[in-house]
Structure 1
Amino acid sequence: MLAVVGDLVEDVVVWASEPVRRGTDTAARVFRTRGGSGANVAALAAGLTPTRFIGCVGEDAAGSALVAELERTGVEVRVQRRGRTGAVVLLVDVDGERTMFPDRAAAAMLDRVDPGWIDGIGWVHAPAYGLERDPMRGALVALLRTARERGIPVSLDASSTGLLAGIGLDGFRALVSTIAPDVCFANDDEARLLGIAEGGEAAGALAPVVVVKHGPAPSEVFEDGRLVARVPVEPVPGIRDLTGAGDAFAAGWIAAAMRGEDAEAACLAGHRRAASVLGSPGTSSMPAIDVNQS
């Protein structure tokens, strides 16, 4: 079973219908759906391998609804409950690029996870959003170290250039060194910021396996800093929203790796999973609520 530790929040997705006009109205469609990088990975992996989600939601109706929706995807959900449930507003421009306004609220309040929650687990994955601040930072580091001590493979997604800048590159590298993940995922911008886009010593120091995604350009896999695979991406027609594409890639890649597939096959599995979310708002398996039509 795969365990994913991360955020479960509501996404408010805004599809701009024209270039954003600052200071006045911009025509748009607005959707509300289940989100959170960790929840996205769990939901998208659940159809490929048994999956458990670990996180925190508010003591409110929104938290209960999000848990129920995630469970409907086949995910086993274990959450702490405190405070209010978080939300993220995602502004998606006409080219599909996103600007995000996160209010993680309860999602960032995960604290002292019961080690029993990773009993029977064969892989643990975490988006780096969980490293933003305490108490979740300390809880996540402790849980991932427990996984490593048990011999469970651990993967970490760099998540966001804004997050990396907020933590500080040296601080992020120190946290990663403490966690010692087996696999690290990064997109092109994150890899460049971390100095690992071309592999080498910096990539090798981050994790034994580093997977760098370059959008429509070939994905690259580095082992101990050496390039071992460059895998082309099949063109995807009708791209409208990049939200969750990286989460979907991680879900496909990890599920393939857990089946024992090699780096190239895992990348291809990640590409296929990512392609499945590029034409819809967010990654929720349930139809997103189109606020314009409600």
Structure 2
Amino acid sequence: MLGVLGDLVEDVVVWVDGPLRHGTDSAARVFRRRGGSAANVARFAAGQYPARFLGCVGEDAVGDGVVAELAGHGVDVRVSRRGRTGSVVVLIDRDGERTMLPDRGAATLLERVPDEWLADLTHLHVPAYSFDGEPVGSTAVDALARVRSAGGTTSVDASSTGMLEQYGRERFLALLTGLAPTLVFANRSESAYLGLLVDGLPGPERDRLAATTVVTKAGAAATTVDVPGEEPFTVPVTPVAQVRDLTGAGDAFAAGFLAGFLETGDLRLAAGLGHRSAARVLASPGASCGEG
């Protein structure tokens, strides 16, 4: 079973109709969706591979709603209940690009994961957001170490260049070096910022992750898979007819990739499945499929 540890929140997705007009009204459409990077991965993976979500939500009606929504997609949801469920305002421009205003709330309050939550996990995936804040940061490191010591594989998603800058480049690289995950997912900007892949070639920090396969996404351009000790290879992306909202596309990619990797061990096939999964979310609001 695939485990995913991290945020489960409410997304308030705003499709802005034209440029924002400071100090007055701007036309928009507003959608409320269940969100959270980790929850998105679990949701999209569940249709392809057994998935379990591990996290914390508030003792409130919003928490009840996002847990029920995620479980409704077949995810085995394990949550503690503390504080107030987080929310993220996601502003989407006409090109589909996102500006996010996160208030993670209870998502940062996850304490040590019970043994039974990790039982039967063959892989644990953690978005980098989960390392930002305590006690969830220490909880994520501990859970990854426990799954690895039990013989499982692990992965980390770099999540956001803004988050990495706030966390600290050297601090994050040191964290990855200690965790030695099986896979690291990043987009082109994140990979270059960390010095892992620059202009399609292994970057100056690549040797620090000597046992880790680095998967670098590049939007509509080909994804690069850099396996330790081998030449990086690329997997092209099939063109998508409509792109209205990029929210959750990276999470959907990770879900499809991990499902394929865990099922077959074939990295090239896994990347193709990741692309196909990501394409499903690009025309609808937030991390959803075909919901207007």
Q: How would you bin the TM-score normalised by the shorter chain?
A: over 0.9
Q: Is the 8 A contact 1:199 1:226 kept in 2?
A: no
Q: Is the 8 A contact 1:97 1:242 kept in 2?
A: yes
- 1:133 deviation in Å? 1.6
Answer yes or no: is 1:252 the counterpart of 2:275: no
Aligned partner letter, 1:245: A
- 1:25 deviation in Å? 2.0
Q: Aligned to 1:173, what secondary structure does the other structure show?
A: helix
C-alpha separation in 2, matches of 1:267 and 1:20: 36
- Pick closer, same or farther for the CA change 1:161–1:225 going to 2, 3 Å: farther
C-alpha separation in 1, matches of 2:71 and 2:135: 25
| 1:162-173 correspondence runs (5 A) | 162-173=162-173
Q: Aligned to 2:68, what secondary structure does the other structure show?
A: helix
- 1:186 deviation in Å? 0.1
Aligned counterpart in structure 2 of residue 219 of structure 1, from 211, 220, 223: 223
**RMSD of aligned Cα (Å):** 1.4
C-alpha separation in 2, matches of 1:124 and 1:87: 24
Counterpart for residue 68 of structure 2:
68
Aligned partner letter, 2:262: M
- For residues 69-128 of structure 1, what are the alpha-carbon distances to aligned partners after superposition, in whole Å with 9 as ceiling and x for unaligned? 100000000001100000000000011100000000001111111132111111110101
C-alpha separation in 2, matches of 1:10 and 1:225: 41
C-alpha separation in 1, matches of 2:156 and 2:130: 10
Which region of structure 1 is more displaced relative to structure 2, 22-31 or 150-159?
A: 22-31
Counterpart for residue 231 of structure 1:
235
Aligned partner letter, 1:173: L
Counterpart for residue 154 of structure 1:
154
Counterpart for residue 53 of structure 1:
53
Q: Aligned to 1:14, what secondary structure does the other structure show?
A: strand
- 1:23 deviation in Å? 2.9
Aligned partner letter, 2:202: G
- Pick closer, same or farther for the CA change 1:287–1:200 going to 2, 3 Å: closer
Q: Is the 8 A contact 1:115 1:146 kept in 2?
A: no
Counterpart for residue 82 of structure 1:
82
- 1:130 deviation in Å? 0.4
C-alpha separation in 2, matches of 1:91 and 1:258: 34
Aligned partner letter, 1:13: V
C-alpha separation in 1, matches of 2:207 and 2:280: 31
- Pick closer, same or farther for the CA change 1:149–1:16 going to 2, 3 Å: same
Aligned partner letter, 1:180: A
4+ residue stretches of structure 1 with deviation over 6 A?
Answer: none
C-alpha separation in 2, matches of 1:238 and 1:73: 25
Answer yes or no: is 1:17 the counterpart of 2:17: yes
Answer yes or no: is 1:283 the counterpart of 2:275: no
Identity of aligned residues (%): 52
- Pick closer, same or farther for the CA change 1:279–1:286 going to 2, 3 Å: closer
Unaligned segments of structure 1, at least 5 residues:
289-294
C-alpha separation in 2, matches of 1:167 and 1:156: 15
- 1:175 deviation in Å? 1.4
C-alpha separation in 2, matches of 1:251 and 1:91: 24
Counterpart for residue 292 of structure 1:
none
Answer yes or no: is 1:263 the counterpart of 2:260: no
Aligned counterpart in structure 2 of residue 202 of structure 1, from 205, 212, 216: 205
What is the total number of aligned residue pairs between the two structures? Answer: 288
Counterpart for residue 291 of structure 1:
none
TM superposition score normalised by structure 2:
0.95
Aligned partner letter, 1:15: W
C-alpha separation in 2, matches of 1:155 and 1:268: 18
C-alpha separation in 1, matches of 2:51 and 2:229: 30
Q: Is the 8 A contact 2:237 2:275 kept in 1?
A: yes
Q: Is the 8 A contact 1:8 1:35 kept in 2?
A: yes
Q: Aligned to 2:232, what secondary structure does the other structure show?
A: strand
Which region of structure 1 is more displaced relative to structure 2, 168-177 or 234-243?
A: 168-177
- 1:224 deviation in Å? 1.7
Q: Is the 8 A contact 2:195 2:206 kept in 1?
A: yes
- Pick closer, same or farther for the CA change 1:211–1:281 going to 2, 3 Å: same
